[in-house]
């Protein structure tokens, strides 16, 4: 065994993750076998559908893009020790705001429209979550429950807006906002059929990683996350930092909504409510709220989702199969936290 505590901790993380994956794979194999499908064939199809060809990679990366942005909505407040699950609501609000901006800016140069949609989505999503964290900070309203409720309110607001004030009379059979115009769409990145949302996701994760790792702001956030009282005693602007973190978190999810509008649908409608926000929570926890880990974890989950169709078509497994796999992985990973510090036992003082 290594003697350096940092290395030991890192080694332990790797062992825990691998053990969790192995246990999940074993349980899942038993599960699909019980359902009458051959586990080796199922695993091969998961590999094939997720990473087995260039098409599969593009499929996986496209799905991973919104997961990255949505995951930030949980992972950033987690730096402060807060648990936000309002990802879906912030995404929806961001999408609506982007569509509204796109429509009202119609006629301007496409780049300006895109910037306008980006800003509108980030501000709307940002205020949405910052509001919840303001309630938390100033009135002690639990942020987990309030953001859960905000999800429902956001969806109701979306349905009302696309059926009423923002309704496009031409969208007869699926109530939607008017189109933002095909010239203003984001399109795919060069050389692949993956939209620009992926770049947004990777860049956002990288920038925020740097912000939280290497700046005074990030250091202050860590202190608040460690102990709010101590942070206040040290004269840190807890309120300001909390609100900024909430804004950044909501902005990330809001931009995910903007990508849905500007790269996929071209308008806002009920298809914005696709559950990406809830997968984002899962991604954040699987990444252990580590901003650098969000990208690979999102790609992994994107891969699992990309392969779901093959399991249905080739083994007649239900569409919920991948949900079972995700749920099992999530639970085992959380349970594995309790083994932390026990695999390569070290003294507590040393570890800290």
Partner 1 sequence: MKDHRTSISRRRLLQAAGGLGGLGLVGGLVPTAVWAADTLSIGFIYVGPKDDFGYNQAHAEGAAAIAAMDGTKIYEQEGVPETLEVQKVMESMINFDRTQMLFPTSFGYYDPHIKKIAPKYPDVKFLHAGGLYEEGDPENASSYFGYIDEAQYVAGTVAGHMTQTKKLGFVAAKPIPQVLRNINAYTLAARKVDPEITTQVIFTGDWAMPVKEAEATNSLVNQGVDVITCHVDSPKVVSQTAAERGAYVTGYHVDQSPLAPQQYLTGAEWNWGEIYPRFVKWQKAGKDWPHLYRGGLKDGFVKTSDYGPAVTDAARKAGDEAIAYFMSGEGVIYKGELKDNRGNVVIPAGQEREQTDIQLEKMDYLVEGVIGSTSA
Partner 2 sequence: MEGAADLGWWGVPLALLAGAVRASTPFLFVSLGECLTEKSGRINLGLEGTLVMGAMIAYGISFLTGSPWLGVAGAAGVGLVMGALHGVICGLPRVNHIAVGIALMIFGVGLAFFLGKPLIQPSAPQLPGLALGAWSDSRAVRAALNVNALFIIGVILTFVMAWMFRSTRIGLAIRTVGDSRDAARAVGLDVKRIRLLTTAVGGAFAGVGGSFLSLYYPGSWNEGLSSGQGLMAVALVIFARWDPIKCLYASLLFGGAGALGPALQGVGISTGYYLFNATPYLLTLIVMIAASSRDRALAGAPGDLSINSSS
175-207 in b/e form (b: 16+ CB < 10 A) is bbbbbbbeebbbeeeeeeebbbbbebbbebbee
CB 195 within 8 A of CB 68: no
Element (H, E) at 207: helix 197-214
The strand pairing partners of 269, in sequence order, are 176
Q: What phi and psi, each to the nearest 5 degrees, are found at residue 194?
A: -130, 130
How near is the Cβ of 115 to partner 1 at its closest, in Å?
Answer: 22
How many residues of this chain bind partner 1 (CB under 8 A)? 45
Which of partner 2, partner 1, none lies near 338, with the C-beta cut-off 5 to 8 A by kind? Answer: partner 2
Q: Which stretch binds partner 1 (CB under 8 A): 8-16, 26-34, 107-115, 265-273?
A: 265-273
List Cβ neighbours of 65 (8 Å cut-off, separation of 6 or more). 194, 195, 197, 198, 200, 201, 256, 259, 298, 302
Query: Does residue 213 bind partner 1 (CB under 8 A)?
Result: no
Minimum Å distance from CB 105 to partner 1? 20
Given 10, 33, 149, 206, the residue binding partner 2 (CB under 8 A) = 149
Structure letter (DSSP) for residue 46: H
Residue of 54, 107, 235, 347 that binds partner 1 (CB under 8 A): 54
216 interacts with partner 1 by CB under 8 A:
no
Q: Which is nearer to partner 1, 246 or 308 (CB)?
A: 308
Residue 176 β-bridge partners: 269
Q: Considering the rule CB under 8 A, would residue 25 count as an interface residue with partner 2? A: no
Query: Which residue in 60, 114, 146, 307 binds partner 2 (CB under 8 A)?
Result: 146
321: Cβ–Cβ under 8 A, 6 or more apart, which residues? 32, 308, 311, 312
157 binds partner 1 (CB under 8 A): no
The packing angle between helices 5-34 and 39-51, to 10°, is: 120
* Among partner 2, partner 1, none, partner that 274 touches (CB below 5 to 8 angstroms by kind): partner 1
Residue 45 as a binder of partner 1 (CB under 8 A): the answer is: yes
Strand partners, 188: 195
Number of Cα atoms under 13 Å in the Cβ half of residue 16: 22
Task: Out of 17, 23, 119, 159, point to the residue binding partner 2 (CB under 8 A).
Answer: 159
Report the residue count for the chain.
Answer: 352
CB contact at 8 A, 74 and 289? yes
- Judged by beta carbon, residue 49 or residue 201, the one nearer partner 1 is 49
Q: What 3-state DSSP class applies to 165? A: coil
Q: Is residue 138 part of the contact set for partner 2 (CB under 8 A)? A: yes
Evaluated on CA atoms 38, 39, 43, 44, the torsion sign reads negative
Residue 74 makes contact with partner 1 by CB under 8 A: no
- Segment contacting partner 1 by CB under 8 A, of 18-26, 27-35, 157-165, 224-232: 157-165
Among 51, 323, 343, 344, binds partner 2 (CB under 8 A): 323
Please report how close the Cβ of residue 98 comes to partner 1 at its closest, in angstroms.
16
> Toward partner 2, which CB reaches closer, 58 or 326?
326
Q: d(Cα 277, Cα 281) in Å, to the nearest integer?
A: 7
Q: Any contact of residue 152 with partner 1 (CB under 8 A)?
A: no
Radius of gyration (Cα) for the chain, nearest Å? 21
CA pair distance 190, 120, nearest whole angstrom: 26
Tell me how far, at minimum, the Cβ of 188 lies from partner 1, in Å: 10
The smaller minimum CB distance to partner 2, of residues 37 and 263, is found at: 37
Among 9, 15, 25, 83, binds partner 2 (CB under 8 A): 83
Binding region for partner 1 (CB under 8 A):
36, 38, 41, 44-45, 47-49, 51-57, 59, 62-63, 159-160, 163-164, 167, 172-175, 193, 260, 264-266, 270-271, 274, 306, 309-310, 312-316, 319-320
């Amino acid at each position: 065994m290594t003697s350096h505590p940092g290395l030991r901790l890192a080694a332990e993380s790797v062992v825990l993750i691998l053990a969790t994956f192995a246990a999940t794979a074993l349980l899942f194999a038993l599960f699909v076998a019980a359902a009458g499908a051959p586990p080796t064939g199922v695993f091969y199809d998961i590999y094939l559908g997720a990473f087995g060809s260039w098409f599969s990679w593009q499929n996986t990366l496209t799905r991973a893009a919104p997961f990255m942005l949505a995951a930030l909505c949980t992972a950033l407040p987690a730096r402060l020790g807060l648990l936000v699950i309002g990802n879906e609501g912030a995404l929806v609000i961001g999408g609506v705001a982007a569509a509204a901006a796109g429509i009202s800016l119609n006629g301007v140069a496409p780049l300006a429209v895109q910037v306008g949609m980006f800003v509108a989505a980030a501000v709307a999503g940002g205020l949405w979550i910052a509001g919840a964290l303001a309630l938390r900070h100033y009135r002690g309203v639990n942020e987990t429950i309030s953001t859960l409720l905000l999800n429902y309110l956001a969806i109701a607001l979306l349905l009302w807006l696309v059926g009423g004030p923002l309704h496009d009379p031409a969208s007869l059979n699926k109530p939607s906002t008017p189109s933002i115009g095909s010239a203003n769409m984001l399109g795919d990145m060069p050389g692949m059929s993956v939209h620009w949302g992926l770049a947004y996701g990777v860049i956002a994760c990288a920038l925020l990683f740097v912000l939280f790792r290497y700046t005074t702001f990030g250091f202050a956030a860590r202190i608040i996350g460690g102990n709010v009282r101590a942070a206040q005693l040290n004269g840190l602007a807890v309120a300001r930092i909390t609100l900024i973190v909430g804004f950044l978190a909501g902005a990330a999810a809001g931009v995910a909504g903007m990508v849905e509008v500007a790269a996929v649908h071209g308008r806002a409608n009920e298809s914005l409510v696709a559950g990406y926000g809830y997968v984002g929570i899962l991604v954040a926890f699987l990444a252990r709220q580590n901003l650098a880990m969000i990208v690979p974890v999102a790609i992994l989950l994107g891969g699992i989702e990309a392969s779901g169709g093959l399991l249905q078509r080739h083994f007649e497994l239900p569409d919920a199969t991948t949900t079972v796999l995700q749920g099992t992985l999530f639970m085992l990973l959380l349970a594995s936290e309790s083994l932390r510090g026990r695999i390569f036992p070290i003294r507590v003082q040393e570890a800290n």
